[in-house]
Structure formats: structure tokens, C-alpha cells
């Protein structure tokens, strides 16, 4: 009889873990929502296939692209991004020569900053200081400061430097200049990305098909009542349709939810309550024209604009909608109401993306825990939780929510693959700790 693995959460990490394990194990995936895919899900709306925000596929991790291409066909897409600053669009990542041409005073100040910051370096004790120390105050104020508040809803002074280390691929102005001079930008931004012809939904659907073909089960709309622990082992889980016993458990759900199911100590519950997540709202504008912009996505870091990023599905694939229409995905962390939508439309016109009479309709999708927020002190809270739950010998918490790890989709795939390997090869808990250290070294290259 096959050993049973219960996986909590049907996001990308949970599904990929199930995919790798389902040939050799009796796998059950438990998902509280009515659909699967988590933040990497896609959905159909009328004649369109849409994502929850732009989900490109790209990886520098060895073998990951090969593994993904075993599951789904991928098109190679030339990447083109822009950033909007002081009324101008610039290529992204920013190039010094563009700033010199369109904002010469800013270019001079950025150059002076390189000298000034070497004299009076700030302590590396926050997101803000970490980036000022490496890019100078001018570039920090221009590109990073307001964007941090718009994405993570926090004062950059209160964000941990770990967020900057993980989300900013280059280490400073010198790296940026070297990349421009020697035309080596692979460490700054990838030139291409990959995408399924029918959207990220196609990838998720194919993974689900493979799990089911192998005999795995995916239970949606399930509520967890309790997870039973005995002798440092996870024994069973109570859901609305009964009790499931298991040999292994993988959790990819948020840590603050998981610790409640195991009746953790008050100290652990308190630590979990202090981990912050950021909600993301996405407004989908269906437009009566074939395309709205040349870019795949555009960044809008300035505080005066309500939205922080706009992307267009058709720049990823022409097969996701009708030829004569397109969809813009507009991201904001603000609570959306009619007045806010009206203001967003005005600002989309202001930045040259649309005209109001081109809008056929719009609708809203929200994702409650889209991003982990690395506030100062988060590592202490996270360590307390992980130390408590990882004493269970047959248990693995992994993925973006399960490890509070700010990573990309390819890295979630890598996490899933390595978690499955640990179970298949019966590796030790010491090996798992080493693997988690490896997860913490992921770098983001957009």
C-alpha cells in the first residue's frame, strides 16, 4: 500500500509537490477555496483568459525551465518594460543615459550621491538605508521610496533590509553602470521570459491533470477543523468530510493559519499574528481596441498615482482574447470603490494608457495575502514559529506562504521539487534545515 501524503493548499507549490509525489504516494491536496492555483491561478471571463496579475515564467535555477516545459508548452517573449517618472516613460531597469537626457538635474544629483554616500554611510538597518547606501538618496527617492509604500503599505523606514536584498537584483549604482557600459544586463533584468499560449491557467490545468492521472485527489471548498499531533508526528487531519490519516504532511498555507489548526502555544500564536501580509486588488479594464501599450508591464512608483503596476495580457500571448479587444490589469493596495475607480481612470488617461470611451467594462479581483511584508523584527517571529512546527518529523512547511518567503513562481517550483525529494529519499531534518537555508538565498531577477 502506498504511503499517504496530505498537502495543505493548492497554490503552485502545493500542486507541484503533489505532481512530483503522486506517482509513488497516495496524495491528497486540501484547498479551502473553490478553485486551485492560488495567486498563480488564471480564470476565464467571457472571451478572455486572464491571470491574477502578470505571471511570466523565467528562471536562473538549474533545470527548472526544463521541468516546467515537461508540463506545458511555452512561448519565448521579448521583454519590454517601462517606468513612469515625472511625466516621462523610461526603459526599465533605469538607464543612466536616459536620466541624463530627460532629467539632467537628477542625473547630476545621482552622480554626487555616489561620492556623498561613500563619506557618510548609514547603518544597514532598514529597507530605506540599505538602498540609500547602495544607490544614493536621489535614485532611492526616484525609484524605491514611494513604490515600497504603494506595494507593501509600509513606511520604508519600518521595512527590513531583507526585503531590499531579495527584491533588488543588483547591489548598487556601480553594478548598474557596469551592466550598461559592458552591455551585460543579465544580472539586472532578463531579456526574455516564457509564457503558455493559453495563460498561466494552462500550466495549472496541466499540473492538475497529471496529479489526477496518477491517482492523486484535490479537495476544494474544504474547511480544516484540527490537525492532530502525537509524539512529534502529524497523525491526521479533520476536515468537513471526515478524518484523513497520513504518513507525511506538506503545508503551503500561511503560517498564521496553520498554527491555529495545531493548537500551538500562545507564544507561537502571538508570533504568527505579527507576520504581516499585503492584500492586492486588481482592476481589469476591457478595452475596445487591439492593444493598449507596447510593454508587457509598466511601473508607476510615484505616490500621486493610485496604482503601482499596469500589465497587458496580450503582450504575453495573443491567444488570450479577441483580436479587437484587450485587457489592462491595474494593481493597487487601496480599497476599491466607485470614486477610486473614477480617479484611476482619470490617472490612466493622464499617463497616456487609455481614453475613457475605450472602456467596455471593468471588474475587480482581490487576493488577501498576496505578499509577505518584511517589517523589522519579522525574522525573530518567523524563527519562533518554524522552530516550533518543524520538530514534527513527518512535516514540511514550504512555499511562499508556508515559509513566509518572498519568491517567484520558478522558485516555488524549485521548493516543491526539493520538498518532494526530501520525502522520497527520506532525508533527515538536518538536511531540511540546510535546504531552507538554500531557499533563503534565492535572488529575484525580473
Looking up residue 295, the CATH number of its domain turns out to be 3.90.660.20
pLDDT value of position 115 = 62
Give the alpha-carbon dihedral of 326, 368, 261, 30, to 10 degrees: 0
Q: Given this model, what pLDDT does residue 136 score? A: 84
Residues 361 and 294 in one domain: yes
Asked if the structure places residue 88 within a domain, the reply is no
- 319 plus 360 within the same structural domain: yes
Does residue 389 share a domain with residue 251?
yes
> Residues 166, 308: one domain?
no
135, 172: one domain: yes
User: For residue 118, what pLDDT is reported?
Assistant: 55
Question: Is 79 a domain residue?
Answer: no
In a domain, 22, yes or no: yes
- Residue 171: the pLDDT is 55
Same domain flag for 288 and 363: yes
Domain boundary, last residue among 188, 213, 244: 188
Whether residues 405 and 420 share a domain: the answer is yes
Q: Is residue 333 part of a domain?
A: yes
**127 in a structural domain:** yes
Final residue in a domain of this structure, among 124, 156, 188: 188
Q: What CATH code is carried by the domain that includes residue 431?
A: 3.50.50.60
Whole-angstrom Cα distance, residue 212 to residue 207? 9
Range of the domain at 350: 277-372
Say if 86 falls within a structural domain.
no
Those residues of the chain that have pLDDT short of 70 are 96, 106-108, 111-120, 169-189, 445-446
Query: Does 176 lie in the same domain as 103?
Result: yes
At 179, list the grid cell: 551592466
The answer to whether residues 414 and 385 belong to one domain is yes
Clarify whether residues 205 and 168 are in a common domain.
no
424 part of a folded domain = yes
Domain count, the chain: 3
Global pTM value: 0.92
93-107 pLDDT tens trace: 777 677 777 777 766
In a domain, 413, yes or no: yes
Same domain as 385, residue 248: yes
123, 153, 188 - which closes a domain: 188
d(CA 231, CA 262): 13
Same domain, 367 and 380: no
pLDDT tens-digit profile of 275-333?
999 999 999 999 999 999 999 999 999 999 999 999 999 999 999 999 999 999 999 99
Query: Which strands form 26-30's sheet, in the order they lie side by side?
Result: 217-219, 26-30, 4-8, 248-251, 395-397
Written in H, E and C, the secondary structure of the chain is: CCCEEEEECCEHHHHHHHHHHCCCCEEEEECCCCCCEHHHCEEEECCEEEECCCCCECCCCCCHHHHHHCCCCCEEEECCEEEEECCEEEECCCCHHHHHHHCHHHHHHHHHHHHHHHHCCCCCCCHHHHHHHHHHHHHHHHHHHHHHHHHHCCCHHHECHHHHHHHCCCCCHHHHHHHHHCCCCCCCCCCEEEECCCCHHHHHHHHHHHHHHCCCEEECCCCEEEEEEECCEEEEEEECCEEEECCEEEECCCHHHHHHHCCCCHHHHHHHHCCEEEEEEEEEEEECCCCCCCCCEEECCCCCCCCCEEEEHHHCCHHHCCCCCEEEEEEECCCCCHHHHHHHHHHHHHCCCCCHHHEEEEEEEEEEEEEEECECCHHHHHHHHHHHHCCCCCEEECHHHHHCCCCCHHHHHHHHHHHHHHHHCCCCHHHHHHHHHHHCCCCCCC
Amino acid at each position: 500500500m502506498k504511503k499517504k501524503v496530505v498537502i495543505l493548499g493548492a497554490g503552485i507549490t502545493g500542486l507541484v509537490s503533489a505532481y512530483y509525489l503522486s506517482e509513488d504516494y497516495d496524495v491528497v491536496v486540501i484547498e479551502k477555496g473553490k478553485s486551485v492555483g492560488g495567486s498563480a491561478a488564471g480564470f476565464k471571463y467571457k472571451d478572455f483568459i486572464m491571470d491574477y496579475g502578470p505571471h511570466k515564467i523565467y528562471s536562473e535555477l538549474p533545470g527548472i525551465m526544463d521541468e516546467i516545459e515537461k508540463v506545458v508548452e511555452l512561448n519565448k517573449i521579448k521583454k519590454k518594460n517601462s517606468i513612469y517618472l515625472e511625466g516621462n516613460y523610461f526603459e526599465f531597469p533605469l538607464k543612466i543615459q536616459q536620466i541624463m537626457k530627460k532629467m539632467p538635474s537628477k542625473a547630476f544629483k545621482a552622480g554626487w550621491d555616489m561620492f556623498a554616500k561613500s563619506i557618510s554611510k548609514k547603518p544597514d538597518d532598514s529597507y530605506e538605508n540599505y538602498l540609500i547606501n547602495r544607490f544614493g538618496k536621489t535614485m532611492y527617492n526616484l525609484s524605491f521610496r514611494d513604490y515600497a509604500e504603494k506595494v507593501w503599505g509600509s513606511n520604508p523606514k519600518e521595512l527590513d533590509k531583507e526585503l531590499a536584498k531579495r527584491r533588488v537584483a543588483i547591489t548598487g549604482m556601480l553594478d548598474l553602470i557596469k551592466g550598461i557600459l559592458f552591455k551585460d544586463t543579465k544580472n539586472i533584468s532578463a531579456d526574455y521570459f516564457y509564457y503558455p499560449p493559453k495563460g498561466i491557467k494552462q500550466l495549472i490545468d496541466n499540473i492538475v491533470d497529471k496529479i489526477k492521472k496518477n491517482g492523486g485527489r484535490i479537495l476544494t471548498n474544504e474547511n480544516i477543523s484540527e490537525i492532530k499531533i502525537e509524539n512529534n508526528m502529524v497523525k491526521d487531519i479533520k476536515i468537513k468530510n471526515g478524518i484523513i490519516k497520513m504518513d507525511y504532511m506538506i503545508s503551503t498555507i500561511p503560517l498564521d493559519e496553520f498554527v491555529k489548526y495545531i493548537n500551538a502555544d500562545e507564544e507561537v500564536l502571538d508570533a504568527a499574528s505579527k507576520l504581516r501580509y499585503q492584500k492586492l486588488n486588481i482592476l481589469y479594464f476591457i478595452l475596445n481596441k487591439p492593444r493598449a501599450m507596447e510593454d508587457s508591464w509598466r511601473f508607476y512608483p510615484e505616490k500621486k498615482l493610485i496604482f503601482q503596476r499596469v500589465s497587458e495580457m496580450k503582450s504575453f500571448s495573443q491567444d488570450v482574447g479577441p483580436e479587437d479587444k484587450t485587457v489592462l490589469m491595474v494593481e493597487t493596495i487601496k480599497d476599491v470603490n466607485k470614486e477610486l475607480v473614477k480617479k484611476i481612470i482619470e490617472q490612466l488617461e493622464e499617463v497616456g494608457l487609455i481614453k475613457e470611451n475605450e472602456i467596455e467594462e471593468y471588474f475587480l479581483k482581490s487576493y488577501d495575502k498576496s505578499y509577505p511584508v518584511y517589517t523589522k523584527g519579522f525574522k525573530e517571529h518567523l524563527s519562533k514559529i518554524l522552530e516550533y512546527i518543524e520538530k514534527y518529523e513527518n512535516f514540511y512547511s514550504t512555499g511562499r506562504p508556508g515559509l513566509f518567503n518572498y519568491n517567484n513562481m520558478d522558485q516555488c517550483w524549485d521548493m516543491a521539487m526539493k520538498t518532494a525529494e526530501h520525502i522520497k529519499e527520506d532525508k533527515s531534518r538536518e538536511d531540511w534545515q540546510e535546504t531552507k537555508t538554500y531557499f533563503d538565498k534565492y535572488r529575484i531577477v525580473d
